[in-house]
Structure 1
Amino acid sequence: MELIERLLFGSESLWGGGVAHSVLILALVVALGVMLGKLKVAGVSLGVTGILFVGIGFSYFGMNVDEHLMHFLKEFGLILFVYSIGLQVGPGFFSSFRKGGVTLNKLAVLVVALGVATTVALYYITGLSMTTMVGVMSGAVTNTPGLGAAQQAFSDMHAGADAPDIATGYAVAYPLGVVGAILTLIGLRYLLRIDVKREEAAAGQDSDAQKDLTTRRLSVEIVNAAVNGKTVAEIRDLALRDFVISRISRGGGSPELADASTALHCGDRILLIAAPRDVEALVALLGREVDAEPMVHDKAMISRRILITKPELNGKTLSELRVRSTCGVTITRINRSGIDLVASGNLQLQIGDRVTVVGPELSVAHAERLFGNSLKRLNHPNLIPIFTGIALGVLLGSISFWIPGIPQPVKLGLAGGPLIVAILIGRYGPHYKLVTYTTMSANLMLREVGISLFLAGVGLGAGEEFVPTLAAGGYVWIAYGAVITVVPLLLAGIFGRFYYKLNYYTLIGVLSGASTNPPALAYSAEQTSSDAPSVGYATVYPLSMFLRVLAAQLLILIFG
């Protein structure tokens, strides 16, 4: 019994209660928290936030770890978490602002702004401290990086001191933040009088964002005399649109490959790959759409997706590789992070891209050797960019700068600095031959370990104050959190439907992404067979995450 007591409650003769004690407590908190997070009530679970509640329970009953050790683990876990998120969203962060994505991101900014405005209004109405209100806001929108950013900002302002009420507010508001978001999406369906069958049929058809994030293949017969005899390159300049001709059939003959110098003549049939938004204009320019099946199923040509795994190809453009002349194949599209891109000549390749090549079987095999296509090589982690990026992120986060009207100098902190550096490295690293690719499983492991350490540290630090705070009236914070959850989503949902005319399934995906709420996305995706909710979520998630982190810090710096 004495051994168990020393392991659970520590020993005063050892620093921090002893290494075995600290490791045991952290391991138990994380393991039990993950198990708690998997329990579902009415189809809703706490997820990884279960770790926070278990940590609170351990701390309340006196099972804790050394304060300095806990502080280090919490901050290091936060850095790992936000950095891995930045690497994940980086490649799509700037592309999410293209064309139709701007509309969806405007709506997401409105959701964040309404949430901040509601928080400030409750701050003045209730008289609660801003640290409490920021914790409640972060819990209400299930945004853990915002919680970390707020705690880091408060610590910077007060010489390393912690504000337990930030974590307490987060823990109190989080459960209803998950449930409230889903209930609001359900309420919007009835409030907006959504015709489910009609919305399902139209899902994704009118979404500009959807049209930007995919490609379409079709067969066209050349009938326009104005393009007769012109080369593919000349037609591309004339159309002012990116497209790739996968193969061409002349006079009903066998399909053959085409390149920029291939001349098109009336009666030729081509297999064309382009963005959906460009299809109508290209068909109008070239001729008429015909059945693509005969060309697709020609046995002389095969199509195969090849994985880019050779580091020397990272950052090179397709035109630099000259695969048509060296391998005898045509690259028609590139799949990056689940998104199909048209294979234009100025597109830079990245490690982990999957290129679709078309050509004879021997030529395709030659292309495989050129690109690598080795999963084993990708499984080897690239640690240099990760830790170099973390170091740069910490440096950036430590730089102070002044914002007019704010009495304290502002820092991006250990949440904002690594997040911004990771986004920039994820987006621009390949331009400078920097291999930033990590497998999805490796990124997820890094992220989960980081958030587990962070939540365990937060919970263990907040446990002693949690129950007394609830008993002293903290339960009212649940209602405040519900207001911050529901009001912005409700108002933005009505605005997005009537002003932007968004499809319902795209709309609820955007609202889920603006709330950085994975359970809400899971609910949204279950309501339709289309991927409109997922596209909406992915389009606005990077900017929403960045704004949530920044808003939490600014509220602390201005009012805290």
Structure 2
Amino acid sequence: MFDWLKMLLLPVENPTVTNSLVAIMLAIATGIFFGRLKLGKITFGVSAVMFTGLLLGHFGYRIQPGILDFIRDFGLILFVYGIGLQVGPSFFSSFKNDGLKFNILAVSTVLFGGVVTLILFKFTGLKIENLVGIMSGSVTNTPGLGAAKNTIEEIKNSFPNKTFDDPTIGYAITYPLGVFGIIGTIIFSKILLKIDPEEEMKKFRKAKLNSELPLVHKKMRVTNPAFFGKTLHQILKEFGGGIVISRLKHSGSIAVKSPTLDHELRDRDVLMIVGIEKDLDEFISQIGRPSTDLFIESDSDLHKKNIFVTKSSVLHKNLSELDLFNTYDLKVTRVFRAGKEILPRPSLELFYGDKLRVIGSQEAIDEVEKIIGNSEKKLLEPDFLSLFAGLLLGVILGSIPIVIPSLPVPIKLGFAAGPLIVALLISRYGGISFIHSYINNGAIYFMKDFGICLFFAAVGIHAGDGFYENFVKYNGWNWLLFGSAITFIPLIAMVIVGRFILKINYLQLAGIMSGSYTDPAALSFSTNYLDSDIPIQSYAQVYPLVTIFRIFVASLLILIFS
């Protein structure tokens, strides 16, 4: 009676499209369930899909080859593109601060791992594709594995008679080692270095006291005669233009207005100013004194509102081009982009999804809303044209052959690096034509997790076919030993160099460790174990460049030594 259900849910040797889809859904659903279970402070999250896929593959579940390739590659593309959009803005801006130092340390760790892999290749007699799989698993780097498999396919197309082992086997054997290895290193380095997370947090806050400070507003009264009669343009020019004067009230009056740059200051004028606190304090000390005037905060004549940029007609225009003040008597006091506050300089270019805080009359705000858009509903709706056009550009970039003399085939960025680089550039420059970088956070998290789940399910089920036999055949215990060298030697070197030579805060170093091995499970553990969100920041700063280098190292090792 239930034969149809058995045929649908139980493994078959020659799966149909439906059987293939059921296998993928089973792997993802069971993986997500087990990934939410806690082992102490450790949760595997979506990476558990890899292990459930292995089990299902071991017990006979299969996916049609064409469907397998599509699910694996499309999942990888979605994952890396989502990562690029999410961390792109902070990735580029971080190079102005500690980002350069962090990325040098992380990339050096990647290259050191490649050197260890090469040494093992010279002395163990293993095929390079097996060692690249071992390396990718030992550092929990999925895009590197994807790049290795793409490179092998390219070589097979040029040399049909050449045979390769599947790097997925080594990846599957050593992946758990990579996860637990990073977590173990974080635990033992904290103990051996006698790290106090609270003390590290104090040091971090002290170090960041003068960088990445938020914008604040303050009230002041003009009392210095040297500035009476000077225009706001003249005064702001003297101070470098890092301040916005949002409101002005004359002494003895209750009328509040948003002043133009040609407005001349009078004795005892009250100003509302916006900027970084230390700049505001310096400005106030030279021009007057702090004020406690309450009328300047009155909203009887002036209103403030947040307006979202959603109309294509204003995209990539700067604030001086829009000239909202002279046209509509409306002043922009702050701009919010990718979770950061930006001072609204006249040269600031507007991106899709930017949030402008404006001040002016209600009539002016209503008029500007019609020009800028302010459609929160539109921001919630996914722009599939922009999304898939961006993905297409990533695939095209990843497919461009780069000819390098002495290599057997041209090297390609592949489906891992191509979409990642395109997403980083789009997020940096706000978009290309109709392709924009804004996707709401919920959609980005869905795209990332959905993509990596598809990839893990396909790779796990494929690797699970004969996994035990391969473990015995290739002496998996030896592979775990080789993987341990790739996991721990570069990681220990990173801790020593990062802590004692570069003097990096341990909370940040934990994020760099997780980011260098592109391991979200280790990141999740470190934030819980250290009771801090600081590791997330350094993880995001190094992740994109590390991913690109992991891809190149894996591809080059296959190309040069296969």
User: TM > 0.5 between the two?
Assistant: yes
**Structure 1 vs Structure 2 CA RMSD:** 3.5
- Number of the residue aligned with 2:518: 516
> Within 2, Cα distance between the matches of 1:332 and 1:135?
52
Q: Matches of residues 276-291 of structure 1 in structure 2 within 5 Å?
A: 279=279, 282-283=282-283, 286=286, 290=290
Question: Counterpart of 1:245 in structure 2: which amino acid?
Answer: I
Rounded to whole Å, the distance in 1 between the matches of 2:391 and 2:333 is 36
Measure, in 2, the Cα distance between the counterparts of 1:272 and 1:551.
51
Instruction: Provide the secondary structure at the position in 2 that maps to 1:43.
Output: coil
> 1:12-53 deviations in whole A, cap 9, x for unaligned?
8xxx53232222222222212222222221221222222222
- How far 1:462 moved relative to its partner? 1.2
CA–CA distance in structure 2, aligned partners of residues 289 and 559 of structure 1: 71
- Following superposition of structure 1 onto structure 2, how do residues 200-279 of structure 1 map, counting pairs within 5 Å? 200-207=201-208, 211-212=211-212, 214-219=214-219, 229-240=229-240, 242-249=242-249, 251=251, 256-264=257-265, 270-275=271-276, 279=279
Paired residue secondary structure (2:206)? coil
The residue number in structure 2 matching 1:157 is 155
**TM-aligned CA distance change 1:216 to 1:491, over 3 Å:** farther
Match of 2:50?
Answer: 52
Does the 8 Å contact 2:310/2:373 carry over to 1?
Answer: yes
Larger Rg: 2
The residue that corresponds to 1:547 in the other structure is: 549
Paired residue secondary structure (1:401): coil
Alignment of 1:515-534 (within 5 A): 515-526=517-528, 531-534=533-536
Change (3 A) 1:218 1:492: farther
The equivalent of 1:309 in structure 2 is: 310
1:64 is displaced (CA, Å) by 0.7
| Higher deviation after alignment, 218-227 or 303-312 | 218-227
Aligned to 2:70: 72
Compute the TM-score of the two structures, normalised by the length of structure 1.
0.86
Structure 2: distance between partners of 1:533 and 1:291: 40
Q: Distance in 2 between matches of 1:198 and 1:365?
A: 50
Contact 1:314/1:434 (8 A) holds in 2: no
Question: 1:84 and 1:377, CA in 2 relative to 1: closer, same or farther beyond 3 A?
Answer: same
CA deviation after TM superposition for structure 1 residue 410, in Å = 0.8
Greater CA drift, 364-373 or 542-551: 364-373
Q: Which residue number in structure 1 is paired with residue 27 of structure 2?
A: 29
Q: Kindly tell me: are residues 310 and 169 of structure 1, through their superposed partners in 2, closer, same or farther at Cα, counting changes over 3 Å? A: same
Contact (CA 8 Å) 2:245, 2:271: kept in 1 or not? Answer: yes
Q: Distance in 2 between matches of 1:493 and 1:403?
A: 35
1:39 maps to which of 37, 40, 45: 37
SS in structure 2 of the partner of residue 475 of structure 1? helix
8 Å contact 2:319–2:346 — kept in the other structure? Answer: yes
- Which residue matches 1:414? 415
How far is the alpha carbon of 1:341 from its aligned partner? Answer: 1.7
Distance change >3 Å, CA 65–CA 503, structure 1 → 2: closer
Moved more, 496-505 or 157-166: 157-166
1:325 corresponding residue in structure 2:
326
3-state SS of paired residue (2:341): strand
C-alpha distance in structure 2 between counterparts of 1:297 and 1:558, whole Å: 68
Contact 1:303 1:356 in 2 (8 A): yes
Distance 1:104 1:280 in 2: 31
Mark the CA change 1:68 to 1:264 in structure 2 (over 3 Å): closer, same or farther: same
Tell me whether 1:495 sits opposite 2:497 in the alignment: yes
Match of 1:128 in 2: 126
Work out whether residues 164 and 465 of structure 1, in 8 Å CA contact, stay in contact via their aligned partners in 2: no
Q: Distance in 2 between matches of 1:163 and 1:234?
A: 71
**CA distance in structure 2 between the aligned counterparts of 1:191 and 1:224, rounded to whole angstroms:** 58
CA distance in structure 2 between the partners assigned to 1:37 and 1:232 by the alignment: 59
Shift of 1:464: 2.2
1:335 Cα offset (Å): 1.7
Query: Structure 1: how far apart are the matches of 2:5 and 2:365?
Result: 63
Q: Structure 2 CA distance, aligned partners of 1:11 and 1:21? A: 8
Taking a change above 3 Å as real, the CA distance of residues 369 and 388 of structure 1, as seen in their structure-2 partners, is: closer
Residues 359 and 510 of structure 1, relative CA distance in 2, 3 Å threshold: farther
Q: Distance in 1 between matches of 2:297 and 2:375?
A: 27
Distance 1:339 1:522, change over 3 A: farther
Whole-angstrom distance in 2 between the partners of 1:260 and 1:185 = 54
Residue 58 of structure 2 contacts residue 465 of structure 2 at CA under 8 Å; is this kept in 1?
yes
- Give 1:318's aligned amino acid: L
Runs of 5+ consecutive residues of structure 2 not aligned to the other structure: none
After superposition, what is the alpha-carbon deviation per residue over 1:48-86, rounded to whole angstroms, capped at 9, x for unaligned? 222222222222222212222212222222222222333
Shift of 1:358: 3.2
**2: CA distance between counterparts of 1:475 and 1:253?**
83
Identical pairs, percent: 37
| 1:405 Cα offset (Å) | 5.7
Change (3 A) 1:58 1:428: same
Deviation of 1:485 after TM superposition, in Å, equals: 3.2
Q: Deviations over 1:354-393 (max 9, x none)?
A: 2222345555455444433322112222222222233333
Separation of aligned partners in 1, 2:298 and 2:280: 26
- Which amino acid in the other structure matches residue 121 of structure 1? I
User: How many aligned positions are there?
Assistant: 555
Unpaired runs of at least 5, structure 1: none
